[in-house]
Amino acid sequence: MVEATRATLYGVSLGPGDPQLMTRRAHALLQRPGTLWTYPVRSTKSPSYAMAIAERAGLTPPLGHQPLLFPMTHDAQRLARHWLRAAQTVHEALQSGIDVMFLVEGDASTYATFGHLARTLQALQPDVSVEVVPGVTSFLAGCAQLRWPLAEQDDTVAVVPAAYGVGMVERLLDDFDTLVLMKVKPLLDDLIALLERRDLLTCSCFIEKAGAPEERVVHDLRTLKGTTVNYLSLLIVKNPQRQRGERIAGCKKKTAAGPNHPPGAR
C-alpha cells in the first residue's frame, strides 16, 4: 500500500505588486486544483493586497478561499490569539489532505506574516510540511525602477523598519552605504529632516506600493512633508559620504605580487 503524500503549507511570494514579477514557481502553484488559498488581511473590512496581485496575474481563486486576520497591533496577546486561529484554520485543511497556499506580497521571508503563521502551525504539529517560495521584495523592485544598485562590490546594506527611530537611522548612516527604511509612514517628516541635515536628500528616494498600478516614486522628498503616505512605503538612501575603514579581507585581485607571493603563486 502506497502511503499518501502529506499536505503542505506553501508560503507563496507574489512579488511587490507587478504580476510579471511573480515567479514561475508561484504562478504554477496557484494553478493547482484542489488547494485552499489563504491570505492575510488587517481587518474583516480591508481588502487583501496579496489577493489583488494574484487577480492581476489572471489567476482565479478556488472556491472557499479563506482570509486570515492579522490585525495591526502591538498587543502581543491579541496577536498570539489571531496567529493561533489562523494556524488552526490551516492545520484543519492540512489534516484533511488539502495543500494550503498562503499568499504573501513581496517575499514570504522578509517582514511577512508567513513566519508567524508557520511557527504557530509548527507548535501545533512539529512535523508539518512547509515550503517557502521566494519572491521579489519591494526594495529590490524599487532599486530596479530607480536604476540604483542596492549594493556594489564591498558596499554595506541595512534593511530596517523605520519605527526604530531617527536616532538609530542616523547611527546606521555612519556604517552603511545603502539604507532601506521600511514602513516609513509614521516618521516620514522626521526622516526627511534628518536626510536634509545630513545633505542626503538628493541621494534618497521614496517609493510607495512598488510595482502596483498605483505605484508612486518621489525624488524630491521635501514635497512629502506634512502629507500622509500609504503603509506600503519605503525610503532608499544611498550614502556616498560614508567613511570606510580598511578591509581585513576581500576578493579583489592584488595589483602587485608581494615578496612571498611571486606572480602565479597560489
Domain ranges of the chain: 8-133, 138-238
Q: What does DSSP say about strands 216-218 and 204-208: parallel, antiparallel, or unpaired?
A: antiparallel
* Residue 129 confidence (pLDDT): 97
Distance, CA of 73 to CA of 10 (rounded, Å): 25
Q: How far is CA 91 from CA 30, 122, 155, 214, in A?
A: 19, 9, 43, 35
Write the class of the CATH domain 138-238.
alpha beta
Distance, C-alpha 51 to centroid of its chain: 16
**Beta partners for residue 100, in sequence order:** 9, 36
Whole-model pTM: value is 0.87
Tell me what pLDDT residue 132 has.
98
What pLDDT score was predicted for residue 3? Answer: 45
One fold for 8-133 and 138-238? no
Burial call 12-21: b when 16+ CB within 10 Å, e when fewer: bbbbbbbbeb
CA dihedral 239, 245, 250, 252 (to 10 degrees): 70
The whole-number pLDDT of residue 74 equals 80
* pLDDT attached to residue 262: 37
8-133: CATH superfamily: Tetrapyrrole methylase, N-terminal domain (3.40.1010.10)
* Sign of the alpha-carbon torsion through 226, 230, 232, 236: negative
pLDDT at residue 252, rounded to an integer:
57
Q: Which residues of the chain have pLDDT under 70?
A: 1-4, 249-266
Strands (E), the chain: 8-13, 36-41, 66-69, 100-104, 129-133, 157-161, 178-182, 204-208, 216-218, 233-238
- As a whole number of angstroms, the distance between CA 103 and CA 13 comes to 6
Q: Residue 266: what pLDDT?
A: 37
